[in-house]
Chain A
Amino acid sequence: MLETRGLTAFYGDFQALYGIDALLAAGETVAIIGANGAGKSTFLKAIAGLLPSPPDAVRLDGVAIGGLAPAKVTRLGISLVPEGRKLFPSLTVEENLLIGTYGRAPGGHWNLARVYALFPVLAERRHAPSTALSGGQQQMAAIGRALMANPRILLCDEISLGLAPIVIRDIYNTVPAIKAEGASVLLVEQDIVQAMAVADRVYCFQEGRVSLAGRPSELTREQIHTAYFGT
């Protein structure tokens, strides 16, 4: 469904990605792991249209979508939950969720009531400023906001970052419900154990390249260690 071929990305003169080939099939959960600075966030940003890339480098159902403006990519059904949540501080929780509807892809399951059913705590805090939420609640709001666009593909950047294990579990427990509504999930995760548990397949990034790819059951600890840290 979503495919990148030789995807490169630059920040000015600095090259962050050196030709990434990756695939996300319909219904799959794919995790990207890798050390800090490996290029994981850059990869998601390039898919979302926040960084320029040649049209052919990103394909959705075989159609070249590389380099489209982020607003257009969202309308095609690809939503990013950005690293660090990035809620809008001058908006309430509910307004943050409603902002998600601007790029709504046609059709789909998600609305306010359903997001509140998925994350009941957000319903209680719906009129609070988004800055008043705890870290876990903010992460839920950021996921809910992305869901409001009815994504076919949900890109999640480090949704467990800085959260307590019990909160991380709560958040990951919602993934099956999200997938049940027809979304495929591409997630970046620093926590290898978490990534292995949730993903059908994983890619490991190292310095802007894919250093390892495969199903969790087929990868050995040693392989992962090498791919993660280099040798």
Chain B
Amino acid sequence: MTVWLDTLLQGIMLGGLYALFAAGLSLIFGIMRLVNLAHGDLIVLAAFVVLVVTSALGLDPFLAALLSAPILFAFGYALQYLLLNRTLGRDILPPLLVTFGLSIIVQNGLLEAFSADSRRIGAGALETQSLPLGGGLAVGVMPLLTLASAVLAILALNFLFYRTSIGRAFRATSDDPETAQLMGIDNRRIFALAMGVAMTVVTVAALYLGMRANFDPTIGPARLIYAFEAVIIGGLGSLWGTLAGGIIIGLAQAIGARIDPEWQILAGHVAFLVVLVLKPRGLFPRAVD
């Protein structure tokens, strides 16, 4: 009994990590219908930025992430403004090709700069601390922080979306980019801002990616798959759905691993397929598309 309760808790908290991977992807797809195939590699890139800031300045990783976020925001803004905006249009192929190419460039650039060695962002005592819940149950502080950060990130994004004037422009542009331009909204700037925001969330995802386990330049594409699955399970364009999607994959992986450690990854993909078959538009599809 305790074992299964523990499994469920682990699964939910692992889901927090996947939701963080997915939130940026969900945001970008929701606003500009851009499927960013480089998303996983951008998470890894951000993890290296946090790692470099941590070791170069001897900072606590959380502080390092705080410093890295504006850098990565600016990077995202420029990436969108200078490159990705040029690929957007009626044809869906150019953005796929360009972000696929970007994925390869980021991976090889990181290999060149940091080698294939695996790294870790050291978090000191935090890595092993846990909170006893009684009855023999305990949760790790790190997984708990991950989930809390995921919920906070989604709350913050929802606030931005539904309570601010820039969020209104995001939604209007997502609804109808041509009419949004008639309202005086510069789509290219809105898209660049959205990518900047996505890269800020990616920084948080990267922080936990790097603190929880080893990473190296080649692990991006697998993170992209988890992120994709979370977004699609949740329903395209729904941020809370993305959180739910992440948690479902996390739960499935934890349960799979409990049955047989070799089943962990497979169980996540199977859960994704099952949801896709039962609800092809995801759990929380947007009313308007």
Contacts and interface: CB of A to CB of B under 8 A. Distances in A.
A70 B168 contact: no
A60 interface: no
B183 interface: yes
Nearest to A79: B182
Contacts of A131: 288
Interface in A43-84: 48-50, 69-71, 74-75, 79-80, 82
Interface stretch (B50-58, B173-181, B196-204): B173-181
B288 A149 contact: no
B172 interface: yes
B120 interface: no
A109 B286 CA distance: 37
A149 B186 CA distance: 15
Contacts, number: 66
Contact of A90 (B165, B183, B185, B288): B288
A50 B178 CA distance: 8
Given A86-B176, A88-B176, A90-B288, A70 B171 contact: no
A82 B182 contact: yes
B168 A99 contact: yes
Contact of B186 (A48, A69, A86, A90): A69
Of the four ranges (under 10, 10 to 19, 20 to 34, 35 or more), the interface on chain A belongs to: 20 to 34
B184 A89 contact: no
A99 B172 contact: yes
Contact of B184 (A50, A71, A91, A95): A71
Interface stretch (A32-40, A100-108, A188-196): A100-108
A90 B181 contact: no
A88 B176 CA distance: 7
B184 A82 contact: no
Contacts of A88: 171-172, 175-176, 179-180
A107 to B, nearest CB: 15
Contact of B183 (A50, A69, A103): A103
A133 interface: no
Interface string B141-176: 000000000000000000000000100110110111
B184 A102 contact: yes
A133 B131 CA distance: 52
A145 interface: yes
Contacts of B175: 88-91
Contact of A104 (B169, B178, B184): B184
A48 B176 contact: no
Nearest to B286: A90
A70 B182 contact: yes
A79 B184 CA distance: 9
Contacts of A167: none
Contacts of A145: 183
Contacts of A123: none
A69 B168 CA distance: 21
Interface string B203-245: 0000000000000000000000000000000000000000000
Contact of B171 (A69, A86, A90, A103): A90
A103 to B, nearest CB: 2
Given A89-B175, A91-B175, A131-B288, A70 B181 contact: yes
B185 A71 contact: yes
A91 B179 CA distance: 13
Interface string B246-289: 00000000000000000000000000000000000000001010
16 contacts: A49-B181, A70-B178, A71-B186, A79-B182, A88-B179, A88-B180, A90-B174, A90-B286, A90-B288, A95-B168, A98-B165, A98-B168, A99-B168, A99-B183, A100-B183, A103-B184
Interface of B: 165, 168-169, 171-172, 174-176, 178-186, 286, 288
Interface of A: 48-50, 69-71, 74-75, 79-80, 82, 86, 88-91, 95, 98-100, 102-104, 131, 145, 149
**Nearest 9 pairs of A and B residues by beta carbon:** A103-B184, A102-B184, A70-B181, A74-B184, A89-B288, A88-B175, A86-B179, A88-B172, A71-B184
Given A88-B176, A91-B172, A98-B168, 9 more contacts: A70-B178, A82-B179, A90-B171, A90-B174, A91-B171, A91-B175, A104-B184, A149-B183, A149-B184
